[in-house]
Amino acid sequence: MVRPNAGTKGVPRLDRESQILAIASQEFGMRGFTATSVATVAKRAGISKPLIYNYFGSKEGLYEACLDLGGSLVADEIERIARGDSVGIERGMETLGGMFALLEQRRYLWRLFFDVTAPSTGAIADSIGVYADRIGKLAEEGVAELMGLAGNDDELDISAMTSVWLGIVDSLMNWWVEHPEQTAEQMMQRCVRLLTAIVGGAEQ
């Protein structure tokens, strides 16, 4: 029986859990829930499978813990930016910049929320829903503010634009995962260029 705050090989339990979550998040984020095995995570961490089950209960419990880690980081950062003074496009760009900086060394965390192979019911689906709601509400708030600056308070327009914005963010993050050589700063510069091209084209 492993003591509640004991680790393995002299590693404190909290440190060992953090190590497991870092490796598991990468495996789940890059391979997906179905293709990731507890055995692979254990091998990379240099520990036994039973220890992971002792800490997290199951593969589903491990995934849920990864979701909580990634979800808290992402939602907290978006909320931090939302409490600032930036509005409209400036807030949107600052949000992107915050995400790029936060996830530069762990961009795979974003994919945990959009894994089509993850269970669609139960605790995992509930956790995804909680963080998706937090992120979605913040996105809708920012979009409503942007639309309001343009004199548009139509609820359906705001809903549609929120879906567009979330789709853009998801596409950019997935593109970034597929291009690991691109830094956070390079991504931010690219977003500025893309926005300039869109606005410039619309004004012509």
| DSSP collapsed to 3 states, the chain | CCCCCCCECCECHHHHHHHHHHHHHHHHHHHCCCCCCHHHHHHHHCCCHHHHHHHHCCHHHHHHHHHHHHHHHHHHHHHHHHCCCCCHHHHHHHHHHHHHHHHCCCHHHHHHHHCCCCCCCCHHHHHHHHHHHHHHHHHHHHHHHHHHHCCCCCHHHHHHHHHHHHHHHHHHHHHHHCCCCCCHHHHHHHHHHHHHHHHHHHHC
Among 93-97, 176-180, 197-201, the range scoring the smallest mean pLDDT is: 197-201
Residue 132 in any domain: the answer is: yes
- What domain range includes position 75? 66-203
What is the model's pLDDT at position 10? 72
pTM over 0.85: no
How many separate domains does the chain show?
Answer: 1
Residue 22 in any domain: the answer is: no
How do residues 111-148 score in pLDDT, each as one tens digit?
A: 998 899 999 999 999 999 999 999 999 999 999 999 99
Residue 50 in any domain: the answer is: no
Residue 198 in any domain: the answer is: yes
- For the cut 60, the answer to whether the pLDDT of residue 203 exceeds it is no
pLDDT band for position 204 (cuts 50, 70, 90): low
Residue 73 in any domain: the answer is: yes
Residue 127 in any domain: the answer is: yes
